[in-house]
Amino acid sequence: MIKVKKILLFFFITVFCSNISYAEISNVESYLKNNVVEKKLSNGINVTILNRGYSPTLALIISFKVGSADEGFESIGIAHMLEHMLFKGTDKIGTRNYEKEKKILREIEAVGETIDKIEIKNPDNILLKDLKKRLKKLQTEHKKYVVNTPYSQIYSKLGGINFNASTSRDRTSYYIELPSSRLEDWVNIETERLRNPVFRQYYLERQSVVQERLMRYESIGASNLVEKFIATAFIAHSYRHPIIGWQSNIKYLPLKEVKKFYYKNYIPSRMNITVVGKQNENHTLSILEKYFGKIKSKIEPVETIIKEPKQTGERRVEVKFKANPYLIIGWHKPTAPTKDDYVGDVVSYLLSWGRNSKLKKVLIEEKKMAVSVDTSNGFPGARYDNLFVVDAEPKTGYKTEDVEKEIYKIINSLKETITQKDINLVVNKIRSEMVFSLDSNMGVARKLNYYATTLNNWKYSIDYIKNIKKVTPEDIRQFIDKYLVKDNRTVGILVPEKK
Q: Is 46 in the site for another protein (CB under 8 A)?
A: no
How many residues bind another protein (CB under 8 A)? The answer is: 89
Q: Is 356 in the site for another protein (CB under 8 A)?
A: yes
Q: d(Cα 224, Cα 243) in Å, to the nearest integer?
A: 13
Query: Which of 9, 127, 204, 235 touches another protein by CB under 8 A?
Result: 204
Residue list 74-113, contact with another protein (CB under 8 A): 87, 92-97
Choices 64-72, 259-267, 353-361, 408-416 (CB under 8 A): range interacting with another protein: 353-361
- The two beta strands, 57-64 and 489-496, are unpaired
Closest among 197, 100, 205 to 142, alpha carbons compared: 100
**Residue 213 beta carbon to another protein: minimum distance, rounded to whole angstroms:** 8
Query: With respect to another protein, which residue has the nearer C-beta, 11 or 405?
Result: 11
Q: Is 495 in the site for another protein (CB under 8 A)?
A: no
**Residue 334 beta carbon to another protein: minimum distance, rounded to whole angstroms:** 29
* CB burial readout 77-97, b (16+ within 10 A) else e: bbbbbbbbbbbbbbeebbbee
Q: d(Cα 160, Cα 327) in Å, to the nearest integer?
A: 40
Q: d(Cα 464, Cα 487) in Å, to the nearest integer?
A: 30
Residue list 14-33, contact with another protein (CB under 8 A): 14, 16-18, 20, 22-26
**Residue 291 beta carbon to another protein: minimum distance, rounded to whole angstroms:** 13
Q: Is 148 in the site for another protein (CB under 8 A)?
A: yes
Choices 49-57, 107-115, 166-174, 336-344 (CB under 8 A): range interacting with another protein: 49-57
Q: Is 280 in the site for another protein (CB under 8 A)?
A: no
Q: Is 432 in the site for another protein (CB under 8 A)?
A: yes
**Residue 253 beta carbon to another protein: minimum distance, rounded to whole angstroms:** 14
Q: Is 177 in the site for another protein (CB under 8 A)?
A: yes
**Residue 483 beta carbon to another protein: minimum distance, rounded to whole angstroms:** 26
Choices 35-43, 265-273, 321-329, 404-412 (CB under 8 A): range interacting with another protein: 321-329
Q: Is 322 in the site for another protein (CB under 8 A)?
A: yes
Q: d(Cα 325, Cα 28) in Å, to the nearest integer?
A: 42
Query: With respect to another protein, which residue has the nearer C-beta, 16 or 73?
Result: 16
Query: With respect to another protein, which residue has the nearer C-beta, 255 or 484?
Result: 255
Position 476, amino acid: I
Q: Is 192 in the site for another protein (CB under 8 A)?
A: yes
Query: Which of 368, 405, 466, 482 touches another protein by CB under 8 A?
Result: 368
Q: Is 466 in the site for another protein (CB under 8 A)?
A: no
**Residue 161 beta carbon to another protein: minimum distance, rounded to whole angstroms:** 5
Choices 267-275, 329-337, 357-365, 455-463 (CB under 8 A): range interacting with another protein: 357-365
Query: Which of 249, 324, 457, 478 touches another protein by CB under 8 A?
Result: 324
Query: Which of 51, 68, 75, 201 touches another protein by CB under 8 A?
Result: 201
Q: Is 435 in the site for another protein (CB under 8 A)?
A: yes
**Residue 215 beta carbon to another protein: minimum distance, rounded to whole angstroms:** 5
Q: Is 417 in the site for another protein (CB under 8 A)?
A: no
Q: What is the side-by-side strand order in the sheet with 161-167?
A: 37-40, 46-51, 271-277, 57-64, 172-179, 161-167
Q: Is 158 in the site for another protein (CB under 8 A)?
A: yes
